[in-house]
Chains A and B, each alone.
Chain A
Amino acid sequence: MGIVILLLMLAGVGLMLTRKLPTAFTLVLLAVAIAAVVGAPFTGENSIIDTVLQEGAVAQAATMLAVLIGSWMGKLMAETGIASTLVRKIVEFGGDRPTVVALGVLLVSALVGTVTGSAPAAMMAGIIGIPAMIAVGVPKTTAAGTILMGIAAGMPFELPIWQFFSTTLNLPVDTVRGFMLKLFPFAVVFAVLFVLIETRRKGVEHTWSLAAPGERSAADRRRNRARQLGDAPWYALLAPLVPLVLALGFELAIIPSMLAGVLYALVTTTRPREMSKRLLRTLYGAFDIAAPPIALFVAIGILLAAVTLPGAVEALNPLVTAISPGHPVIFVVVFALLTPLCLYRGPLNVFGLGAGIAGVLISAGIYPAVAVLGLTASYNQVFGVADPTSTQTVWAAQYSGISPQQVMVRTLPYVWCVALGGLIVTAATQL
């Protein structure tokens, strides 16, 4: 039976890779198929309807809410000019030194990404940051990579991610935070190394371009919107730090911390009589941004519910036990070599089938949940930057005028090292 489940998973990967079916739909289909082959009843306890579809669909509710509030804050930071002011100030201070400007944009991407999530952060930091970097001579691929590596540097502190791992792996947020603190130095060091090495290796590039002012893109129109807004006050620029300080420094729960960030961004930028209108408008706008990840989290919850059904665990246990390395060194070597399998929506992508595999590893008792956290969080660092199918990578590449594959090739060595660091920490402390 375990083999049948693995074949179903393989078919699911095929559907996702060939883009025959969107990831979320594939995961739901896969979940129902797994539940059916392990003989789960239609209704009742451990059933397809009540357990997999009903309980699974809402299992990630806290994550979905965190994603929504993150998008809300992102929308607010964009509308009030906080994000654009941050980047503009970095360019003004960094000035004519491409490396300094790139390091500044890296910092802004990391900071914004911690609260808004990866895709909105790429857009907020990139809309001004990418052309600004190119204008001071940073080559296009390095500019796109800088935005993504910045997001990856902030990813260990991305609050919706904490909530996701906490819910998915059934771990307290404190435990997730503890591991992320260990992963953070690797993410930061390799992000900074990316900027320093790539700006040195590729040098500067200046073009005499014919791009006509009349040919305005959607991004230009967004810039024009910023034109009407002007600079946000300096104290409003601290807004992305508020949720981080509360959640990390004061160990406050994730959702209240993020709500505090929303309120801070609002009161520091908005006149009292406009507050309620702006709050509602940005909240409704946030639903558009948050819709794709929320749909994915519904599907992930459903898949997790299916692979943790007693029948599925029983079927997969011998197989997974046989192929999972137990020795810490082999664990690091094997999973480091398997890292590319999280790209292109591959089977180790934690926001896809990888979540199901993580669920199997825990429910079958192969590795402690904290070790699975280490494994998946390490892979997430790779997926979030180098996967040519992830929203932020596609957006940053296209906005820079290059292909997502070029970004993947340039950034993969660095994020692979981050994943290796995370795997070593995991093996050293949890196995």
Chain B
Amino acid sequence: MTRTVTAALGRLGRVRRDALRAECAPLAELDDVELGARLLADTPTHEHRDPALLRHWAETATGFGTRLRSRCAAAEPRVVERPGGIDRLLLARYVSRPTPTVELFTDTLALGEELVDLLGWRDWYAEGALRATALAHEDAHRLLHGDAALRRALRERLGHTALRVGRFRITGHVAGSEELAAHGYAAARTGLGRSPLLLTAALASAIRALVRN
């Protein structure tokens, strides 16, 4: 970002708001698996992968996260709320050291809520659900970070072979799969109607619109 974005969507003129709606409408037409596949396609190491394989991995990883919804990470992290997320293009962040902490970026969350209203997506994202989703998303990362068996299970589920010599086979890590599992987990925990990835993509469009404004 080249300059601080403090404006809310209300500061956009009618034409720009309509343009933003028009930009986000095709995103809503994509299914959640396709959004997941796009995230994987933009993750390094997947540059040459078959789109069908990426869709399969996206579905599997998201489903893996969804099935984890009844589990919680062992200890509650410290939660810090601060502004500055829009400038850094961040909605939430989890750091494990020195103290496990989840940072929630209040300006991005507020923009997200405003955007849901603007786009008429309240049926999918309930009022205040975005904050809970962000916490659940980072909770999923803590779960996966602290449990090697869980990470192994995700790897096995994805079934990507990194090396095969005769009957001997090593499953490879699929970069980006944990992020998709975290989104699947968060969506299931908070009962979202669509993947958080849809709102993520729409938020990126909104920030671009604000910058242009």
State how many angstroms separate the Cβ of B201 from the closest Cβ of chain A: 7
List, sorted by A's number, 22 A–B pairs whose CB atoms are closer than 8 Å: A87-B44, A88-B45, A92-B160, A93-B172, A95-B173, A127-B44, A128-B45, A132-B44, A202-B95, A203-B96, A203-B98, A204-B95, A205-B96, A206-B182, A209-B89, A210-B200, A211-B89, A212-B208, A213-B39, A227-B47, A228-B48, A231-B48
Which chain B residues lie closer than 8 Å to A128 at the CB level? 44-45
- Which residues on B sit within 8 Å (CB–CB) of A201? 97
CB-defined contacts of B148 to chain A, threshold 8 Å: 96
Q: Give the Cβ gap from A152 to chain B, nearest Cβ, in Å.
A: 23
**Could you say which residues of chain A place their CB within 8 Å of the CB of B17?**
none
Given A95-B172, A96-B155, A137-B145, decide whether A212 and B97 contact each other with a Cβ distance below 8 A. no
In angstroms, Cα B165 to Cα A289, docked, is: 39
Contact of A1 with B by CB under 8 A: no
Question: Bound complex: CA of A244 vs CA of B196, how far in Å?
Answer: 49
Nearest-CB distance from A399 to chain B (Å)?
Answer: 11
For B, the interface residue count at a CB cutoff of 8 angstroms equals 49
Whether A208 pairs with B95 at a CB distance below 8 angstroms is: no
* Residue A135 is within 8 A (CB to CB) of chain B in the complex: yes
Q: Is B72 an interface residue (CB 8 A)?
A: no
Residue of chain B at shortest CB distance from A216: B42
Which residues of chain B come closer than 8 Å to A215, judged between CB atoms? 204, 208
Which residues on A sit within 8 Å (CB–CB) of B42?
213, 220
Given A95-B173, A135-B175, A213-B42, are A224 and B47 neighbors across the interface (CB < 8 Å)? yes
B145 & A92 in contact (Cβ 8 Å cutoff):
no
Are A208's CB and B160's CB within 8 A?
no
Shortest distance in angstroms between A45's beta carbon and chain B's nearest beta carbon?
57
Chain A interface residues (CB < 8 Å from chain B):
84, 87-89, 91-96, 127-128, 131-132, 135-137, 139, 201-215, 220, 223-224, 226-231
Q: Are A132 and B175 in contact (CB under 8 A)?
A: yes
Q: Which residues of B contact A (CB under 8 A)?
A: 38-39, 41-45, 47-48, 89-98, 108, 134, 137-138, 141, 144-145, 148, 151, 154-155, 160, 162-163, 170, 172-173, 175-176, 178-179, 182, 196, 200-201, 203-205, 207-208
- Report B179 CB to chain A, min CB distance, Å: 7
Q: Name the distance in Å between B202's Cβ and chain A's nearest Cβ.
A: 10
Known pairs A88-B44, A93-B162. 6 more at Cβ < 8 A? A132-B44, A132-B45, A136-B175, A137-B145, A210-B89, A224-B47
| Residues on the A chain within 8 Å of B92, using CB | 207-208
B173 touches A205 (CB 8 A): no
Q: Is the CB of A202 within 8 A of B47?
A: no
**A-chain residues with CB within 8 Å of residue B145 when the two chains form the complex:** 137, 204, 206
* Cβ–Cβ < 8 Å partners of A89 in chain B: 162
Residues of A within 8 A of B182 (CB): 206
Residue of A nearest to B104 (CB): A208
- Contacts A91-B173, A96-B178, A210-B108 given: A205-B93 contact, CB under 8 Å? yes
Contact A92 B172 (CB under 8 A): yes
Q: Are B44 and A208 in contact (CB under 8 A)?
A: no
Known: A208-B92, A210-B203, A227-B47. A96 touches B173 (CB 8 A): yes
Residues of the A chain whose Cβ atoms lie less than 8 Å from the Cβ of B154: 96
A210 contacts across to B, CB distance below 8 A: 89-91, 108, 200, 203-204, 207
Query: Once bound together, how far apart are the Cα atoms of A93 and B172, in whole Å?
Result: 6
Indicate the member of A92, A201, A223 with the most B CB atoms within 10 Å. Answer: A92
A132, closest chain B residue (CB): B44
Question: Out of A88, A95, A205, A211, which one reaches B95, CB within 8 Å?
Answer: A205
A96-B151 contact, Cβ under 8 Å, with A201-B97, A207-B90: yes
Please indicate the chain B residues that have their CB under 8 angstroms from the CB of A204 in the complex: 94-96, 145
Q: In the complex, are the beta carbons of B47 and A208 less than 8 A apart?
A: no
Assembled-state Cα–Cα distance A223/B179 (Å): 20
Residues on the A chain within 8 Å of B141, using CB: 137, 206
Chain B minimum-CB-distance residue to A137: B145
Are B45 and A92 neighbours in the complex by a CB distance under 8 Å?
yes
Tell me, in angstroms, the Cα distance from A230 to B134 when the chains sit together: 35
Q: How far is the CB of A135 from chain B (nearest CB, A)?
A: 5
Inter-subunit contact B173/A211 (CB<8 Å): no
A206 with B138: in contact, given A91-B173, A137-B145 (CB under 8 Å)?
A: yes
CA–CA, A58 to B208, complex, Å? 52
Please name all residues of chain B whose beta carbon is closer than 8 Å to the beta carbon of A227 when the two chains form the complex.
47-48
Chain A residues whose C-beta falls within 8 Å of the C-beta of B176 in the assembled complex? 135
Q: Is the CB of A223 within 8 A of B162?
A: no
Q: From residue A308, how far is it (CB to closest CB) to chain B in Å?
A: 48
Enumerate chain A residues within 8 angstroms of B108, measured Cβ to Cβ.
Answer: 210
Cβ distance A254 to chain B, nearest Cβ, rounded Å:
33
Bound Cα distance A137, B93 (Å): 11
**Is A95 touching B203 in the complex (CB atoms < 8 A)?**
no
